[in-house]
Chains A and B, each alone.
Chain A
Amino acid sequence: MNTFQYATALSPDSARQLAGDHGAYIAGGNDLLGLLKDYLVSPDILVNIKSLPGLDTIQQGQDKWTLGALVKIAELEDSIDIQSVFPGIRDAASEIASPQIRNVATVGGNLAQHSRCWYFRHRDTVCLKKGGDLCYARESDNRYHCLFTGNTCISPVVSSLATTFAALDATAIVLRDGKETPMSMDALYHRAWENPLAHNSLEPGDLIVRVDIPTARSRSAYMQVSDKHAFDWALVSCAAAANIVGGKLDKPRVAVGSISPVPHQVEAANEFLDGKTLDDDTASQAADMILKDAKPLQQNAYKVPMAHALIRRTLLKLKG
């Protein structure tokens, strides 16, 4: 890695100031250290944000819960309260990386992590995402890549929490030049949908401070399929959230991960599900709608049936 300065910030404002235009925030550092070591980023300063006050707590409210950006993934996994109110978050957290990583990885870092595309991460390929002129994955090996994209890059979002937060209609609060900017999960990743160089919509100096999760949906679920049984990225992940009132779905939302640069959501499917009795056939129809416009490539078409199965199963899991 290249040399950098290191500073610890004690307030969000000083963090922003220290970061300047070419700094990077560091908390768990799981993603950042990899990027640094592979010379994929070379910030001139690392600003330690682990001491920012109040960002490491889970606050329970009537209408919404707030997860501080510094809350560890392991806390989401272990919290009995999260388990009972947002089981989808708990299940997503338990699938992230390994116990060692979950002990230091944070909510903010999980959302802000960069692409895992093996061309982007490779030290000797200059792909579109790194400013080159070729999306190697399109031309060559795309087994882990997108079914949907708004641009040429087909690197998918891999944050399991983002998928779950999308289904729960959660909002990330981003501190942008001293101002709190609320961003839906769609907004948080939208730039990656249209711009191959981006993996999220954060600007230099932007700091995710917390995530607000509405309690409007009492049920949530998350499932993923990987090549292996643990410590492996999702090939496809799916989250769903809703109420079930009188046997019928209320405010249902479904999001699918690892198939698009953004958590993949189809409003028409959510509307279709609203007020329906949850059964295999209904779930299957919703899955059809969600995957209707998928554009599989040479090696990732398996994600279509896999996602279909996951959508059905995750929805049915809402029944408990």
Chain B
Amino acid sequence: MAEWPTNRKYISGNVKRVDAAPKVTGKARYSSDIQANGWLYGMILRSKWPAAKILSVNLDKALKVPGIKAAVVARDGQFTVRYYGEEIAAVAGSSKQACLDALRAIEVNAQPSAGFVVHEDDGLKQDSPQVWEGTPNAGDPHVRNRGDMDSAFSECAAVIEGFYTSPVQIHNPMETHGNTVSWTDEGVTAWASTQGIGSVQDGFSGALGVDRSKVRVITDYMGGGFGSKFGPGVEGLLAAQLSKKAGAPVRLMLTRFDEALAVGNRPSSFQKIKMGALADGKLHAFQFENYGTAGIGAGADRGGGGGGVNIPAPYLYKVTNIHASQRGVAVNAGSARAFRAPGNPPASFGMECAMDDLAVKLGMDPVQFRLINDPVEIRRNEYKVGAAAIGWKDKYKKPGSSPGVVKTGIGCAGANWGGGRGSPDTQGEAQINPDGSIEIRIGVQDIGTGTKTVIAVVAAEMLGLKPEQITVKVGDTNFPPGPGSGGSATCASVSPVTFDICSNALQQLQSKSGIADARGDNWFAACKSLGVTPLKVTGQWQESLAGGPAYGVQFAEVEVDTETGLVTVKKIVAVHDCGLIIDRLTLESQINGGCIIGMGYALYEERVMDRVSGVVLNPNFETYKLSGIADVPEIEAILINMPERGVIGIGEPATIPTAGAIANAVANAIGVRVPNLPITPAKVLAALGKVPPITA
């Protein structure tokens, strides 16, 4: 059975990204930078109606706009659009402005629907206009029952009831969705901004009817996806059609506006929780009703986990008596997709708020309450480590008891992530040259998390070389197949494969060169013995080198101005177990990013749908608010290194508990619960009872 080396030079160390220099100097070419020979701009016309029948689309005038080379309709014949922003047509032309002009020249004959629904509560109403004709907007509930709720609650020493809600969150990766696509008789080449070159290859192949062997997908550098970039997308398929028509490569990158409408989001949650514990603090009864929206769809699973409405409940905890009921509500809005730890951040937020509320009612310390109820020893230990790091004992006070106008508070929450184990199908290869240079190729993609660096670190460790001596090539479907970057699986997929490639290389070098140990100082001599023929070796995934699941807890310390309602996060302590740490720097970077997105979820982010017009009101970074540098506190990442568990992915667990921890810290500061994310100044003032009633 393969085992990681115990004496480690680079693994678990601090290795800078192998591509740091090209990234900070602008030399790195992202998908959105690709300028294929003779390329054209592509752009999409989107529905300005939340619901309409499209009777006809006339492209004639658009095609006459100077510079326009092709135009296509999104769907043939008459069709129905079901949300603001749904694709209607697309154009390709030699300049951005030509495309903009052409979009305005397209004539759309549409019959807007009289009725539409964009808010969850409206969708729940019996008589609400149906998003899908003949189908009620509110789906049948998924119900789970265990035990007798009535008697269970009567046995409890304390019972709380809360209604915790979280909004629809938009992925908003820094690089927008899109591709440059060239479709010729020879096949399709797509430079895609994707987290899954393999799934994009599949998507193009299937949708365009082109053999998979004739579809090549390339992703050299990529600016994030957070779960929303596994397929070619409507935008990719439209780019392909435009390319074929125009006889030229088409670069169709979405705008920030488009990102808010049609390329995925995290479903909302409206969680009614009634929960009780026995006198000894043991959770005893849990009643849960949740609804939320995934837009027009349930969130098609494209290989990175679903974007469905249902969330795990009662999340981390075991409760004897459970009644749980969940359902999705369709509304006229873009469909959800997998989003960093699908289902978990809202689950953690709702449940962990309920945990704190119940702890307060029991008169019990919230950390102690979790130690009693959390079934996982690793996480219980993390609570102890985190509590010590943030100074819980001194800082935790009775809710609302902090003196003065600006009150301080502290809170915590936990995370569970079943993924992170790696994909057994991952393969890789290396070419080792007589001059000692080595190139490792895996058909995975580095979505900004440091995958190339991880491969270099493992190879350097195994071969006794320096990371910079390893050439790493990823992001090409011509390489041996790698995993989609979803489920936090990438690190635990590529590390064992790299291990195996290197083991095989050492073995073969030994037999070819007769040098017993080809590592380190012997490497170049061993390679030289290859003569003129490079050595090619392959590698497979090794189960014994990867592990899971991942557990984490986070603590947050906040200040709340009780007169203005402004919440300031002072510190986050993030304690995560990561099995064997490959590279501490990229790992900490993942945790920082997870906390920052989680903080946006807690305090700032919310897709706002307009009830009257049906549009997304904030399709920009002006009013869709993201954490900025001035908002981000000190983040202390505490990594629990457990090499014996193998490599475990951390991307997703790192974002799960942040919102719950911050929400609990706010409640601890001001003594009342703000149960609705994002926790804006307006909501804090309302929770404090400072907002006058509206008389008009």
Chain A residues within CB distance 8 Å of chain B: 1, 116, 118-119, 122-125, 134, 136, 139-141, 143-144, 225, 227-233, 235, 295-299, 301-302, 304-306, 309-310, 313
- Which one of B617, B630, B696 has the greatest number of beta carbons of chain A within 10 Å? B617
Separation in Å of the A88 CB from the closest CB of chain B?
Answer: 18
Whole-angstrom CA separation of A299 from B691 in the bound complex? 10
Q: In the complex, which residues of chain B have a beta carbon less than 8 angstroms from the beta carbon of A304? A: 691-692
Whole-angstrom CA separation of A311 from B295 in the bound complex? 42
Q: In the complex, which residues of chain A have a beta carbon less than 8 angstroms from the beta carbon of B690? A: 302, 305
Contact A305 B685 (CB under 8 A): yes
Name the residue on A nearest B97 (C-beta): A1
Whole-angstrom CA separation of A295 from B696 in the bound complex? 8
The 10 closest A-B pairs by CB, nearest first: A230-B630, A309-B563, A302-B682, A229-B630, A124-B48, A305-B690, A140-B612, A225-B564, A302-B685, A301-B691
Q: In the complex, which residues of chain A have a beta carbon less than 8 angstroms from the beta carbon of B694? A: 296-298, 301
Whole-angstrom CA separation of A121 from B12 in the bound complex? 50
Whole-angstrom CA separation of A304 from B622 in the bound complex? 23
Whole-angstrom CA separation of A224 from B693 in the bound complex? 24
State whether the Cβ of B608 lies closer than 8 Å to any Cβ in chain A. Answer: yes
Contact B608 A228 (CB under 8 A): no
Whole-angstrom CA separation of A296 from B686 in the bound complex? 14
Contact B566 A225 (CB under 8 A): yes
Contact B615 A143 (CB under 8 A): no
Contact B617 A122 (CB under 8 A): yes
Query: Contacting B625 at CB < 8 Å: which of A143, A228, A299, A305?
Result: A228
Q: In the complex, which residues of chain B have a beta carbon less than 8 angstroms from the beta carbon of A298? A: 694
Q: In the complex, which residues of chain B have a beta carbon less than 8 angstroms from the beta carbon of A299? A: 682
Whole-angstrom CA separation of A1 from B101 in the bound complex? 8
Given A228-B604, A228-B630, A306-B565, A141–B691 Cβ distance below 8 Å?
no
Given A136-B613, A228-B628, A306-B565, A141–B692 Cβ distance below 8 Å?
no
Q: In the complex, which residues of chain A have a beta carbon less than 8 angstroms from the beta carbon of B611? A: 140-141
Whole-angstrom CA separation of A134 from B623 in the bound complex? 22
Q: In the complex, which residues of chain A have a beta carbon less than 8 angstroms from the beta carbon of B517? A: none
Q: Which of B591-641 contact A (CB under 8 A)?
A: 603-604, 608, 610-613, 615, 617-618, 622-623, 625, 627-631
Name the residue on B nearest A303 (C-beta): B682
Q: Which of B670-688 contact A (CB under 8 A)?
A: 680-682, 685-686
Name the residue on A nearest B679 (C-beta): A227
Contact B608 A141 (CB under 8 A): yes
Given A141-B617, A143-B682, A305–B691 Cβ distance below 8 Å?
yes
Contact B631 A230 (CB under 8 A): yes
Ordered by A's residue number, 27 sampled pairs between the chains whose C-beta atoms are within 8 Å are: A1-B97, A116-B622, A118-B608, A118-B623, A119-B613, A122-B617, A123-B48, A125-B610, A125-B615, A141-B608, A141-B610, A141-B617, A143-B682, A225-B566, A225-B681, A228-B631, A229-B630, A232-B628, A297-B694, A298-B694, A299-B682, A302-B681, A302-B682, A302-B686, A305-B692, A309-B564, A310-B564
Give the size range of B's interface with the partner.
35 or more
Q: In the complex, which residues of chain A have a beta carbon less than 8 angstroms from the beta carbon of B682? A: 143, 235, 299, 302
State whether the Cβ of B349 lies closer than 8 Å to any Cβ in chain A. Answer: no
Contact A125 B691 (CB under 8 A): no
Given A227-B625, A230-B629, A305–B563 Cβ distance below 8 Å?
yes
Q: Which of B552-567 contact A (CB under 8 A)?
A: 563-566
Contact B630 A227 (CB under 8 A): no
Q: In the complex, which residues of chain A have a beta carbon less than 8 angstroms from the beta carbon of B610? A: 119, 125, 136, 140-141
Whole-angstrom CA separation of A142 from B607 in the bound complex? 15
Whole-angstrom CA separation of A118 from B609 in the bound complex? 11
Whole-angstrom CA separation of A261 from B690 in the bound complex? 25
Q: In the complex, which residues of chain A have a beta carbon less than 8 angstroms from the beta carbon of B629? A: 230
Separation in Å of the B591 CB from the closest CB of chain A?
Answer: 21
Whole-angstrom CA separation of A116 from B97 in the bound complex? 25
State whether the Cβ of B84 lies closer than 8 Å to any Cβ in chain A. Answer: yes
State whether the Cβ of B568 lies closer than 8 Å to any Cβ in chain A. Answer: yes
Q: In the complex, which residues of chain B have a beta carbon less than 8 angstroms from the beta carbon of A305? A: 563, 685, 690-692
Whole-angstrom CA separation of A116 from B615 in the bound complex? 17
Contact A124 B692 (CB under 8 A): no
4 more contacts with CB within 8 A, not counting A229-B631, A299-B682, A302-B690, are A1-B97, A296-B692, A305-B563, A309-B564
Separation in Å of the A7 CB from the closest CB of chain B?
Answer: 20
Whole-angstrom CA separation of A116 from B623 in the bound complex? 10
Q: In the complex, which residues of chain A have a beta carbon less than 8 angstroms from the beta carbon of B100? A: 1
Whole-angstrom CA separation of A227 from B566 in the bound complex? 7
Separation in Å of the B47 CB from the closest CB of chain A?
Answer: 9
Whole-angstrom CA separation of A295 from B694 in the bound complex? 8
Q: Which of B69-100 contact A (CB under 8 A)?
A: 84, 97, 100
Separation in Å of the B621 CB from the closest CB of chain A?
Answer: 9
